[in-house]
Chains A and B, each alone.
Chain A
């Protein structure tokens, strides 16, 4: 969008929902204002743009972000490595190791701003290192640092050295509209949460060939030749699985035929790598829907891979929330295919809980109450699981898993609010309390599955529970236990989200009908008495 068009769009804009935006860059940001407002107006939003004072980006990174404002950072190489800033001239000498240390520190500060949107402009660098090859390597390393942070990369030619030297604005006039468009687009694009389950077809996907026709000896899955593409795919799935992605297979086969392949020892993937291997002649969308119900996950947690366009279309039509990715027909398309999947399953950190996730969900499926059981039958079923709750006071000591649980849980989440470790530290230092709950049963441990953060004012600020233990009455038992403790909570800070309907239902049970967001009072003594029978389903022990 050029200057006059931007003026026209802004002046004719009738208004729309506000878009509070912090456009953060170390240079002069003001020239972007018109274009940012125009780009937002073109999308029906009224941008309320703030800028940082000139050259204060480094200080801004050390301040807490304003949660009411979407931050968009326009980053340049010298935001990571100040020695490369054209406006400082070429330094006499540069310690490349120090440059990298400082750049890594800045990247760490950016990584902590989980909701910030990042744009990276890989501007040409001045020759700060004596060897041109090292200078180029430095530029590429800085680019990789930004990419690793999830930054969207802008074309290098958007950098205008003339504009930067003259006015401090790093983008020339002919690019300013396009960069503003990218900034608004980034601000309006929700940050993608990692999907949880990859559902894959088997024939001509996990292996080459059709098992029922070619037989075990006829399928191809070796690292070379006809099976190479399938071998690489399997190795990628294995890595995803180790990082916490759940794998499931759906195949139009007889179950014993499909399982025989995994038990043959010829495949890289083994049966225990999958949370479920569904082999039937039902529509694949129906199989995925059933699996979603059993795992207590929404369809948007799933990704489906198949080589057959008809199967892909069938799932797309029946389950539009499930991204469907076509397995490539040619080896040359494999890299793009794997990059697409990697983008749907990003894992920045991998915890022990992530590595054990498949086992945890397999246990959940094994302990799943048959859906027709109700009332007394269900109670008997749950009693038979011999469940044990271990309640950990995480107010002091290691709380990494609890923080991760609060940060990742969507469905059983009191208000959808995300907390950094630092946020939680502040609440605890002010007199708050933090609990984590571990569940085990006759099938083994399910890990730490519930977290509860209570403020010094006895209002529950965060309550989350892993959806893999729904139906077991854990949440009622925990609240009954909590209600009987000294200084029990007096209220819960509720807020509805697009996905936390299970929490709304629970809250309606324990505190009465929920009307709008806000603090919902809780009669702790009454809750402890009402759900004592649920608590009795568990052997409870403090850690």
Chain B
């Protein structure tokens, strides 16, 4: 509730803010180094991005952005780029 109020007060996050949060979430959930550029990250290329980490990633995105990600979306959000595009569409 407070988050919604804050969001209304501060306005929607800018694309740069969304990207910064997304990168932080991806690094945190997948246990990647803080200096790593994750904008090209794909599930197939990152060893720690297993099915369990994918569930954690989806839940973290839902938590952070206050959204609900349907199963059909979850199965295709297997890269940083796909997630970013999905978040952009929902804004």
Contacts and interface: CB of A to CB of B under 8 A. Distances in A.
Nearest to A177: B63
Contacts, number: 65
B66 A174 contact: yes
A353 B32 CA distance: 64
A489 interface: no
Contacts of B21: 4
A173 B58 contact: yes
B86 interface: no
B46 interface: no
Contacts of B58: 163, 166-167, 173
A171 B74 CA distance: 16
In the A-B complex, the 6 residue pairs with the closest CB atoms: A173-B62, A173-B59, A167-B55, A3-B60, A173-B63, A3-B63
Interface residues of B, number: 21
B59 A169 contact: yes
**Max chain B C-beta neighbours (<10 A), residue from A6, A163, A177:** A163
**Max chain A C-beta neighbours (<10 A), residue from B62, B66, B74:** B62
B3 A2 contact: yes
B63 A162 contact: no
A84 B39 CA distance: 42
Interface in A147-198: 160, 162-163, 165-167, 169, 172-174, 176-177
Nearest to A165: B71
Nearest to A168: B55
Given A31-B59, A162-B68, 11 more contacts: A3-B28, A3-B60, A3-B64, A4-B28, A31-B56, A167-B58, A172-B62, A173-B61, A173-B64, A174-B63, A174-B66
Contacts of B60: 3, 173
B24 interface: yes
A7 interface: yes
Nearest to B66: A174
A163 B58 CA distance: 9
A166 B68 CA distance: 13
Interface string B60-89: 111110111111001000000000000000
B61 to A, nearest CB: 7
B55 A174 contact: no
B30 interface: no
A6 B56 CA distance: 14
A166 B55 contact: yes
B68 A160 contact: yes
Interface in B39-67: 55-56, 58-64, 66-67
29 contacts: A2-B3, A2-B64, A2-B66, A3-B25, A3-B60, A3-B64, A4-B21, A4-B28, A6-B63, A7-B28, A31-B56, A35-B63, A160-B68, A162-B68, A166-B55, A166-B58, A166-B71, A167-B58, A169-B55, A172-B62, A172-B68, A173-B61, A173-B62, A173-B67, A174-B66, A174-B67, A176-B62, A176-B63, A177-B63
B55 A2 contact: no
- For chain A, the bracket of interface size reads 20 to 34
B24 to A, nearest CB: 6
Nearest to B20: A4
B24 A174 contact: no
Contacts of A7: 28
Contact of A166 (B66, B67, B74): B74
Nearest to B58: A173
Contacts of A162: 68-71, 74
B81 to A, nearest CB: 20
Nearest to B62: A173
B53 to A, nearest CB: 11
Given A3-B60, A4-B24, A31-B55, A174 B74 contact: no
Interface string A1-30: 011101100000000000000000000100
A255 to B, nearest CB: 53
A123 to B, nearest CB: 15
A177 B60 CA distance: 10
Nearest to B28: A7
Nearest to B72: A162
Nearest to A160: B68
A166 B69 CA distance: 11
**Max chain B C-beta neighbours (<10 A), residue from A2, A165, A177:** A2
Contacts of B69: 162, 173
Contact of A4 (B55, B64, B71): B64
B69 to A, nearest CB: 7
A174 B71 contact: no
